[in-house]
Structure 1
Amino acid sequence: MVYSLTEQARDFTPHGLSIPRIPIPKRMPDPAGGVPEPENVYHKGYFPRIRETLARTVAGVRLLATNPARVPSAAAAWLGEQLEKDALFFQAGLFGGWAAVRAGFRATGRGLRHPVHRRWILGLIALIAFLPGFTWQRCGFRGCPDVGKLAALQPGGAARVYDARGQLLAELAPTRWAVVALDDLPDYVAEAFVAVEDKNFYEHSGVHWPRFVAQTVKNLVPGGRSQGASTISMQVARNVFPDRLPAADRSVKRKVLEIRVAREIEQRYTKAQILQTYINNIYFGEGVYGIESAARVYFGKHASQLKLSEAALLAGLPKAPTHYSPRRNMARSVQRRNLVLSLMAAQGRITAGQARSSKDAEVRLARLRPESRPRTRFPYFVEHARRMLEAELGPALYAGGLRIHTTLDPRVQRAAEQNVEAQVRAIENGRFGRFTGPRRAAYRDSSETPYLQGAAMVMSARTGDVLALVGGRSYDESAFDRMTQGLRQPGSAFKPFVYAAAVAEGVTPTDRVVDDTVRRELPGGEVWTPRNFDGRYRGAVTVRTSLRQSINTIAVKLAEQAGLDDVEQVARRAGITRDIPPLPSVAIGATAVRPMELVRAYTPFATLGYRVEPRFVTRVEDRDGKVVWRARVKRRRVMDRGVAFVVTTMLRGAIDRGTGTAARGALGDGVPAAGKTGTTNDATDAWFVGF
């Protein structure tokens, strides 16, 4: 769109704005009768562009104040004008070459011959040509990291853990022993890492370009699975400079900087030095850095004593330490180990016979000793929070300076620990009947813990905040967390899910069911005959009474009436993740569950239908107070409100007049409470879950 100026004063209205213009005098003829002097299109007074911009701005404000209805159309016209000018310029540049670009500038009133325009265009071209080389050489404006730190690489400072009241609870320091020289290790230790992490390690100079390009293209394919192409040198770069090269940053800028640093590392250090740095500082999960500490924690031996099968298992961990941890999933860890052995054999690093024999080797883990970690208050809670954050943050958890805010209430935690120990001692002392099991006192100096144990968890049903967690009688004697890691049969504590399924099918608390002998044939021909805890049969009783008195035979009948598949679905939606076999014995808790899952599965009763996920940590901040991770309250409706209400009223009866009256005695009258006890055969396990 091109505009011309007239000899008389006129309005310039390309977009509907009426802006008065300065009159332009007629061009005076040359006195000599020759060609008139060309009009100076650049100097129409002082600062013409600024004056024009100010005039347009004033006119726009005046229009907004006097006639707002015209503002949208005027703005649209102005935008169209600008787009048309830009389109003309870029079209000329794309299709017409340099001459067309110059013509495009003239058409839009911006001549390239003008010294001001020429200066900024040439300066822009020079800047564009200069920036790539500058940023590559300097690693951006912040400068390149000092790769000299490689020789003295150490994990960052300990993360600090705080309770719900803001008091320091613990420091999560990484586990680390002395650095070991590559020459002191069996050859297959280093070869295992090279085989699975970077088989071309000895051929490339920091980046394996064919692999990098192939993986980049694969990652760009819509719907494709994102994969990595980092060499060992690039992983070392990330470990040395986690602040400049955060693993969570997937941007192109971070990847380019990682390549730049990796190539400089390759130029300054030998392959042996780089590989030694890698295996001494890579993260192996469980708060463990370096091959020596990994060998100690996982196998109880020095890295120089590792067998081929053990070295292959450790080499498989850095890709996803939590996912492949043998302490969390042995089957998955062994599968990963066998993959490493297969790669080593395929690449000629070991023989096929060595690979076969190592695949058949049994994995024998060392006992996780509490002395391998700094002593903390409430260690079961802290250790579970650490494992959870490792799964979320990975090695960044130990990058240094993090502040972890938890949900733990120290007063509730101390009360839970004291009550667990008091209850367990009461059982040992015969308060509830003769006790014949091993006593704790006999194993004070032993690594075995066959004596009676207890566990507890206190959680807010509204938010899921875990206020207290007790995983055993003593973390120093046994670091195994029975609340979050143990598998136990819940016994009658499973019955609320049976009754919820029955209520959903139309059963009411006042319906009467006959308590008598039940015989069921199980797969394989075995006949199963459940009995009540006291050995008696009561005849016809109400459904409410059967739950209050925990009658096994009626629970089996209700499960069959509702459907065993429905019972399974109710329990699974409530929060039980373990397999629940479709057998009548499930009605009285003949299936293994994790205690923490059972606590979560009771939340739909307490919240009238919502399952609430346990929350141990509310947020994680960096050293500057910036939130780097936050845990939201997770609630999901999984049960009908009416069903949850009816089952809760029946569970209140169990507290007031049934098997849970001990809880009522502890709470006193006037405190609304509901819950259910559970006991397995021979009183091997005794439960109480309530709210």
Structure 2
Amino acid sequence: MSDSGRGKGRLVADRRYPKKAAPTKAKPAAAKPAKTARPKRKTAPRRRSRNPIVAFILGIFGFVFGLIWRIVWRVSAVVMIVLGLAVAYTYTTVPPLNQLLDGRAQGSVTLHDRDGKVFAWRGDQFGGTVTADSVSPYLRDAVIATEDRRFFLHPGVDPIGIASAIRINLREGRGPLQGHGGSTISQQTAKLLCLGVEYDATKWKNEAEFVGDCRQGSLARKAKEALYAIAMEIKFTKKDILSIYLNRAYLGGGAYGAEAAAQRYFSKPASALNPAESAMIAGLLTAPSSLAPTSNMDRSRERAATVIGLMQDQGYLTTAQADDARAHPAVLSDAAEARAGGYFADWVMDNLPDFASVESRQDVEIRTTLDQRLQRAAEDAMNAVFDEKVRDGSKAQAAIVVMSADGAVRAMVGGRKTGVSGVFNRATQAKRQTGSAFKPFVYATALELGHGPFDTVVDEPFCMNIPGSGQWCPKNYTKEFKGRVTLTDALTNSLNIPAVKISESVGRDMVRQVADQFGIRSDIDNTPAMALGTSEASLLEMTGAYAGILNGGSSVRPYGLMELRIKGDPDPMIGAGGGIGERVINENAAKELIYMMEKVISEGTGRRARLEGREAAGKTGTTQAARDAWFVGFTADYVAGVWMGNDDNTPLTGVTGGGLPADIWREVMVRVNEGIEPKPLPMIVPERPATQVVSQPQQAEPQSQPQRQPDPIENFMNKLLRDILGGN
């Protein structure tokens, strides 16, 4: 067998990673085989060297960015943890839903007229709790479209809305946080809740200061509102938050909440509002006081039209519905439109007991004596006379009071501007000299003491020595003297000297007592000039005193409140606040005085007040330099008083009580008595004595000349003058 193949390798590849061979005995070294050439390793292409400056800058940026990133995510994590803890804590401070619906600071007073119709509201009106589901869907949609179109999408804070508000503010030239705030309904609700802080009288000077703090718009306050809004979003549903907002929002006219606003402006529940009415109420959220339809209907309708456009754009109204709402804008109810009795309502409110005022936080309902027909009559009469007979630019003011003979006030106008409230009421607050309108109390005293309408007194030059003041010589308005006149003629022509003589003869104290008992509560001067009306009184006092003459001589206390009850209670807490009081003069004396006062209108200084086909009685009054002009009088059914003057007490120009005040009185009485069957006045027409002679206007004889057939009054006056002047 041939062995030529020995020593040749195997025809297979060697193992790449051969196993380690077991140790063998050393063999003789063999010749080294020739080295085989290794394949060359491929090398990557050589990179271009980086610019060291660029590398340095990029390195710095990379380091800074990495550092910022590490700081930001750590700070963000801390902020999120702190924010979460703050929201969690705020969540625990949010009261239950039922405690958040009525947030008024004070109670309300609803005033009804004599027929039970609402005519005025005072305090914070709250019509009752409503929910987002119970109000009209148009109102709910109008509020969302106007105040927060993404209400159902955000978690309480709307970053898109905030960014949009900042953009608008910058475009309009304001600071980024001035003007539009981008607040959501949730944030606005948080503000209305004062972030859950309750008013504490020990910490705040007053509630106004507390509310001002609640409404501040600082960044810190905004941040707290955002926290509270998010906490509410977690605690309540969206509809719950909207319900709180609909109950708490102020909507002008003293109305808090949707129900109160619906009743205040439209006399209907919030559930029955149509699109136009809903748009008007939602529009008030921007500026409730200035946009209220009772303040400015044109501006309110303009804003409502804008809201209707928003509702249409956001799909809440179809084009047809929006066009119909624009074509038929909301109109006020009769009660809201009338704005009746503002002065009257203020007067009633000023006389409420403390437990029934708005500060008591109770809801009160009051039935009053106001007659809205008579109120309109008084306002229309004043406007008619000032429009037709008072020169343009005149600053003269006037006031009117109408009442029944028992003192029940039926109408009140406290100034030329009607349909207002919260302003100076000249019918009740102004104390002015009464002038000759005071004279009926002088004659009432004389009649009560037994004198008659046809007793006589001499109208002549007359002087008195007033201790401490010297000689006083009164004059008649006409500067003339009529000689011997009856008491009736003296009152008819408003003669001053007979009034002073009679007052002095019957006694000033008696006259003051009669006037006081009839209701003139103001201080009455204890001087001879008292008879000429130098003392001051309000128009309400004077009208009430004349009502005492009409009712037969008994005093009256003017009143406007008939019944007061706490809302929800069936039984009234207070009854009528006034009425007929004690008798002041006997009935015959009152009826004789009415006869004398009827002559004032039919024949004397009050002829411009005459009523066609109806008996009337009254008295004019003009003070020194015509600073005040009065006419007070009555028919068988009503008493009315009119005052005219300037607030600064400067003289009127060409005005006396028998002029413009008599015109206003006549216009009032024509309207007041419209539709009422004429009735005769309750007066006694005395028989004139057969021997009675009334002198014609003439210059009176000197006081020293004896008079023939002197009457008792003259005898008393002569004796008094002798005592005062020291004569024989």
Per the normalisation by structure 1, the TM-score is: 0.46
Higher share in helix: 1
Higher relative contact order (Cα pairs below 8 Å, separated by 6+ residues):
2
Per the normalisation by structure 2, the TM-score is: 0.44
